[in-house]
Structure 1
Amino acid sequence: MIFQDCLGIDIQKDLVSAVYVKSSFKGIQIIAKDSWNYAEGDRPSMMAENINRFMAENNAEPVEIFMGIPSDNLMIKNVSFPSAVKENLRETLRYEMEKILPVNPEDIIYDYIVKDSGAGLINIALVVMKKKEMDFFLELAGFIKNGVTALTVTSFIVNDFVSEKIVRDDDATLLVVRLLEKRIEFSFVSEKDIAAGGFDSGKPLSENIPVQIQKIIESGRDSDSLRVMGCTTDPGAFAIDAGSLSEFYLKADFSAYDLESDTFIGSFALANLYSRKSDFLNFIPAVNRRKKDLTPIKYLILISAVFLLSVLFYLGAVIYKKNSALTYYEKEISGLKDQALVVEKAISEADELEKKIMDLKLIFNSKPSALEIHKEIVMILPDNSWLKQFSIKGDTVEIQGISASSSGLVPLLENSLLFEDVKFLSPITKDKDGNDLFRIGLKIETSLKEKPEK
């Protein structure tokens, strides 16, 4: 019953009660409830005025409206038919009515509940009410704004609600008892039989059950699993003498539903009828029944569609953003690759040019000038070394100088393409500041060495 608003109307002897509920993801909430007394002879239109005003004051529209009636004047008959007639069961009942009941089919209104089927048979509980008594309720349903979804028997709906919602530690069949202002109503629903009735609240239950229930119990079909359950909003204030009908008397506590009074138990159970999946009695002809309001379902579908589209839009935006970023980086990488190719080409051309220069030097075997030699030595010496004297005799060069550490000078000079046979010509000495005084001799290469590969 998600997002479904429902109104339950319970009509009993001289009293009408109504409960309006809304449902959401948080559960069922009672929005409003009220009750009105009526006297015998009041017209249905007068009773409908109170109900319509109640709906208007509480904005209870559109809603599914379920109306329940007393069970005093019901006639219940359990019958069986071959399973083959299941698809046309209502038509079959119409033809067989005179055989089943000692009344004129034109004088009654009926509905049925399928109890069980098997062994080639389908068992039903046929519930009949005289037309002249049902006309009052059908006329009342016609005066209620927007019509009524179902006209059923309140006692059976309370029985089903209790059976489905109240947690018990056994699977016993329930004889559900409901206390009203001046009377007690009860219902019995098992896999094989159903029964309902009512009596004055001043008399004990064990003395006022109808013959139908008494025969069911005496037959032994349900006596082992029968439990009497009283429905109340105040468990401590409601007690019924169940006599020998049950080993246990159970209490269905309705106080958790914020009903405040036992008067509203029936109308509350009716308001929750929308969520029922099983069959229930409905005496309103099919052509006159109010169609179920699909607006909440459409609203839920719309919300779901919007949510789904939002999710798809978000995922699409994320994918688009990632694809855009991927395209940008691919473009950047492609540009860097082009730049890298240009640099690689320049390096290759420089290597080729250097190789050509070295080849030319080897071809001409030109001897470097004194200035070139001096420049080469000065370029090789580190920052902590200074050249004091420089002399060239033929292919021999002698240099003298000062260095903070002269031990690494020989390897540096040997790495030059211009020099070979580099060595110290005298021991290293120290000046007054602690620096090395060096004297190194070296020879000029007669044939230039190839520069090592990078």
Structure 2
Amino acid sequence: MSFTAVVKLSDKSFRIGLLKRGLTGKRIILEEEILPQEGGQVPERLTATLEDLKKEYPLRECYLSIPFQSVTTFFLDLPLRKRQEIARAIEFELENRLPLPLGEYSLAFDVLARRGRISRVVVMAVLKRDLERYTRICSGLGIRIKGILVDFLEMLNGVMKRGLLNKGRSLFIYRGEGSYSAALVENGDILSLKHFRDLRFLMNYLVGITKENRPSCYYSGRGEPPVELMPCEQVDYDFRAFLSELVSSRKPLRVDFLGSPEAHYQHRYAVALSSLAALSFILYVLSILIPYWLDYRELKRLQRGIQSIESEASDVLNMNSRLDAVDSRLREMVLLKKRGYEAIDALAELGRVLPGHSWVVMFKYNGKTVEISGFSKRAIEVLKALEASERFSNVRFSSPIITMKDRERFVIRMEMEQ
């Protein structure tokens, strides 16, 4: 039997829920909103609460839900499809968009849609020091963190799974502690995610999105929808529904600052099964090959005896075979030396013809084809300079140009004239 805590953080308080995993799945056994005592802080009160829960329950893991207003959100369209490549491209894109150095932030993203080679990605950034205040509390108490999620996104997942935002143009508004969060969705595709500390800013946002096409509006949170807003349908979404959604494995939008623990364990389980299968196969193969290996050793012993006799009887044949081997190695050395000079010539030609505002970060040469990757203010000027060189032919871009703030990234392939 295991227990999982869910902590929903906010600026002035936190809500905590305790789930019990049994034969029938997860069962909620505790849900409570806790305010720090006078003069106290949320981290100190959370520490005391978790200590009390550990005394009563065998609590070993928890989820943290951080407030949406503490994260910075970006929507990016990237000409990539693999998640590893997208993660690297995000760091380039956000390098100059955040007020602090990129190393000060934890990043999380999810792919919203793929259209051809273009992936639409939502990226969220939060200061590492804001997360460490709470992760240190859990690690200090011996509680493993299973996920660090965003509260408004989990509410949005729950509303979308109910089918309320899957048709037409829809708007979901959530009212928290003195602030508002809004998500604009069209046919199940998330178009924007916004946070507003004041009702006036929310009103300005609504004026902008309702000029052409008024969306269907859904409202959840503290109190009734303000009369100034457009007519909205009230959505009942309490903390119990939030707890169920937070630990759900099926989500339209998955943004986790800790990664995906479920995927991690599934991967480890798959690796263990694969290792056992591979070990069984190896043992089976060895049981077949060992008799053949013993015969092979005996055959090699006989061959060594025959070779000894042949060397004593025919030194000339032995010398010819040695000469052939030396000649073959000499030819290989000459070929390697020639290729080395060709690579140096290619590098020298690149240094001569490349524009001054360009630099190369990758160079490959396989004896005929040269491939380079780098950055330039204008990648087309690099292509023209290489086409004008007598040492290169068939010059072409081998991947799309990626445009950044003040430079362009390029990958060019060409043939080396002999």
Matches within 5 A, 1:424-443: none
Counterpart of 2:250?
Answer: 277
Counterpart of 2:160?
Answer: 163
Counterpart of 1:51?
Answer: 50
**In the alignment, does 2:220 pair up with 1:240?**
no
Letter in 2 for 1:209: L
Counterpart of 1:253?
Answer: 236
Q: 1:93 to 1:168 in 2, by over 3 A?
A: closer
**In the alignment, does 2:112 pair up with 1:118?**
no
TM-score, normalized by length of structure 2? Answer: 0.52
Residues of 2 paired with 1:105 and 1:196: CA distance?
22
Q: Secondary structure at the match of 1:241?
A: coil
**In the alignment, does 2:12 pair up with 1:19?**
no
Q: 1:285 to 1:113 in 2, by over 3 A?
A: closer
Unpaired runs of 5+ residues, structure 2, are 270-418
Counterpart of 1:98?
Answer: 95
Q: 1:115 to 1:32 in 2, by over 3 A?
A: same
CA contact (8 A) 1:66 1:271 kept: no
Q: How many residues align?
A: 262
CA contact (8 A) 1:86 1:122 kept: no
**In the alignment, does 2:68 pair up with 1:75?**
no
**In the alignment, does 2:198 pair up with 1:225?**
no
Residues of 2 paired with 1:231 and 1:86: CA distance?
34
**In the alignment, does 2:85 pair up with 1:88?**
yes
Counterpart of 2:183?
Answer: 188
Q: 1:53 to 1:174 in 2, by over 3 A?
A: farther
Residues of 2 paired with 1:29 and 1:89: CA distance?
37
Residues of 1 paired with 2:250 and 2:262: CA distance?
18
Q: 1:25 to 1:134 in 2, by over 3 A?
A: closer
Letter in 2 for 1:135: E
Unpaired runs of 5+ residues, structure 1, are 233-237, 255-261, 298-454
TM-score, normalized by length of structure 1? Answer: 0.48
Residues of 2 paired with 1:98 and 1:33: CA distance?
40
Matches within 5 A, 1:36-435: 36-38=34-36, 42=41, 44=43, 46-57=45-56, 59=57, 61-63=59-61, 65-101=62-98, 103-165=100-162, 172-180=169-177, 183-188=178-183, 190=185, 191-197=189-195, 199=197, 205=199, 207-209=200-202, 213=205, 217=209, 223-231=213-221, 238-241=223-226, 243-244=228-229, 246=230, 248-254=231-237, 264=239, 268-278=241-251, 279-284=253-258
1:102 shift after superposition: 5.1
Q: Secondary structure at the match of 1:272?
A: helix
CA contact (8 A) 1:157 1:270 kept: no
Q: Secondary structure at the match of 1:193?
A: strand
1:226 shift after superposition: 3.9
Residues of 1 paired with 2:259 and 2:22: CA distance?
31
Letter in 1 for 2:219: M
RMSD of Structure 2 on Structure 1 (CA): 3.8
1:219 shift after superposition: 7.6
Residues of 2 paired with 1:114 and 1:165: CA distance?
21
* Rg larger for: 1
Larger RCO, structure (CA 8 Å, separation 6 or more): 1
1:192 shift after superposition: 4.0
